[in-house]
Amino acid sequence: MELRPYQHEAVQAVYDHLRERDDNPCIVIPTGGGKTPVIATICRDAVNLWNGRVVILAHVKELLEQAADKLRHIAPEVPLGVYSAGLKRKDLGYAVTVAGIQSIWKKACDLGPVDLIIIDEAHMVPAEDDGMYRQFIADARAVNPQVRIVGLTATPYRMKSGSICAPPPHSILNHICYEVGVRELIVQGYLSPLRTKAGLQRVDTSDLHVRAGEFVASEVEDLMDKDALVEGACAEIVEHTKDRRATLIFSSGVRHGQHIVEVLKSRHGIECGFVTGDTPDGVRAGLLRRFRAGELTYLCNVNVLTTGFDAPHIDCVALMRPTMSPGLYYQMVGRGFRLHPGKADCLVLDFGGNVLRHGPVDAVRVKEPGAGDGEPPAKECPRCHALIATGYQTCPECGHAFPEPQRRTHEATAASVGILSDQATRAEERVSETSYHVHRKRDDPSAPPTMRVEYRLGFNRWQREWVCFDHTGYARTKAEAWWRARSVEPVPASTEEAVELARAGALAPTLSVTVERKAGEKYDRVVGHRLGDKPPRLESDEGLPDVPQPVGTTYGIPDEEIPF
């Protein structure tokens, strides 16, 4: 099995991190983007190249089965054991052990020395100090103090504490070594395009209480289980899914889910399966089999078919529950990310105000502690009810033109959002991390490489630009100007040299970038930078004159010239 380019980059990023740093890395790949092949490849290399022993931890048996199956396919020669009560196996003594955390958290010493612990769905590791994951890792370190941990997740944040990565000893995972976004994989054809619509029925969540970062479950169910809301929502679901093949519904509770199933049957003559945490295993397996086979078009569940559930033909997800958790919102919508033959896109029907609350799923907004509300991350088209990013001035679904926003008065400084023109908005965003990579054009090894610069904005968004040192003419001239604005080192002759110098600390830090967004365009683009001070020469040479730093200049290559 050959890895996709971004999967290969993720594997290499882990190896670079483990060689160069003493802490533990995390990989962020969207739901449906293929984390399991990355896990299997790392396991194969750890055993075959470095004679290591690995344990893979997950919290649901479906993830364990996926990891074991993929490892058998990629590396059939690697001795593989499974330790899971749910899978009725408790294997010990293997080079790679796939284990359910609930089954093995007290058994680390029984495994013997382990060199690498891989945690799938790493956002499930609690922030507290007394969880099962932490107990297992503490015991594994007692056996082998040199054990390293690698996490993989699609959602690297928690509702209350923010990012799952923090410096040791505050967190098990310390640094995101690689991240690829939903939008990028959609554009590259690896994930299904998404369409989002708000329900006509409105819910007011302002009176709901919040406990431990989430709406109180009983209050949510009482709010959503009103007759008019359920009947109206079911009618909308039926109307929007006439030509859809598989609709997955998330209800707010058992009573609410039963109500949805009954209304679909009695008023619309539609059979809808129903799965809860208490559904017997045999009944659940039968419903999921029928759903995956296309015998059952509608399936409702109460927050159980999130992580680990794989049905690629899902082309509609109905959110019949509001949530304060950006991670849960993402995981629910993520059930529709996967590609499937004949599937043009996935429709998300939001009856809980989640898109307006958290933003488009390719740019989920996670507020840092103490941050204000700021601008809403999404808005609803009043004509077709599509939910779109706030920056759009014309609805991409129906063409409705939004009125221009009123200028705010009493601004102390110039506004960071530029004047709207050709449906474009500009916003200055703080950069928390910058990384540099050699980028090679897909399917064209003869094309010159470029330097891919990745700016981390917030918790889970990256903005990229490409700098073309190996090109000629205009592109090379722009690359030279880009470099001189940031460094007193001579302009590199090649992309490889530029990346090496950048990683060695030759460039001024990027404090913020100005990002331009245009409705209907595939990519956002960087149109300005705010830079810190240039560092001194890497090799002591204090006689070189400093180069004046341009202000407000664009050095990135336009997106239509990106060498994919």
> pLDDT tens digits for 372-407?
455 555 666 666 666 665 555 566 566 666 665 543
Query: Please, are residues 505 and 498 in contact by the beta-carbon 8 Å criterion?
Result: no
Q: Where are the domains of the chain?
A: 5-185, 192-403, 426-561
Q: How far is CA 388 from the centre of its chain?
A: 18
Distance, in Å, from the CA atom of 254 to the CA atom of 232, rounded to the nearest integer, reads 19
In the predicted structure, residue 283 carries a pLDDT above the cut 90 = yes
Question: Nearest CA to 111 among 150, 53, 66?
Answer: 53
Count the Cβ atoms, other than its own, within 10 Å of residue 171: 19
- pLDDT at residue 157 in the model: 76
Q: What is the mean pLDDT of residues 253-266?
A: 97
- pLDDT at residue 423 in the model: 44
Give the rounded percent of residues in the chain with a pLDDT score beyond 70.
Answer: 80
Q: What is the mean pLDDT of residues 168-183?
A: 88
Give the rounded percent of residues in the chain with a pLDDT score beyond 90.
Answer: 52
Query: Please, are residues 38 and 5 in contact by the beta-carbon 8 Å criterion?
Result: no
Mean pLDDT computed over every residue of the chain? 83
pTM given for the model: 0.66
5-185 sits in which CATH class?
A: alpha beta
- pLDDT at residue 67 in the model: 86
Phi and psi (nearest 5°) for 44?
Answer: -60, -45
Query: Please, are residues 422 and 391 in contact by the beta-carbon 8 Å criterion?
Result: no
Write the pLDDT tens digit of every residue in 112-135. 999 999 999 888 887 765 688 999
Second-level CATH architecture of 192-403: 3-Layer(aba) Sandwich (3.40)
- pLDDT at residue 159 in the model: 57
Helices and strands, counts by H and E, the chain: 15, 26
- Return the higher-pLDDT residue of 291 and 125: 291
Residue 556's pLDDT band, with cuts at 50, 70 and 90, is: very low
- DSSP character for 247? E
- pLDDT at residue 363 in the model: 65
- pLDDT at residue 557 in the model: 37
- DSSP character for 397? T
Residue 510 bridge partners (DSSP): 531
User: Is 192-403 in the same CATH topology as 5-185?
Assistant: yes
Distance, in Å, from the CA atom of 209 to the CA atom of 202, rounded to the nearest integer, reads 18
Distance, in Å, from the CA atom of 188 to the CA atom of 442, rounded to the nearest integer, reads 10
Distance, in Å, from the CA atom of 32 to the CA atom of 190, rounded to the nearest integer, reads 8
What burial class does residue 544 get, using C-beta atoms within 10 Å of its C-beta: 0-12 exposed, 13-18 middle, 19+ buried? exposed
In the predicted structure, residue 332 carries a pLDDT above the cut 70 = yes
Tell me the C-alpha to C-alpha distance, in Å, between residue 183 and each of 29, 265, 555: 12, 37, 23
Query: Please, are residues 279 and 366 in contact by the beta-carbon 8 Å criterion?
Result: no
Write the pLDDT tens digit of every residue in 3-26. 999 999 999 999 999 999 999 999
- pLDDT at residue 369 in the model: 43
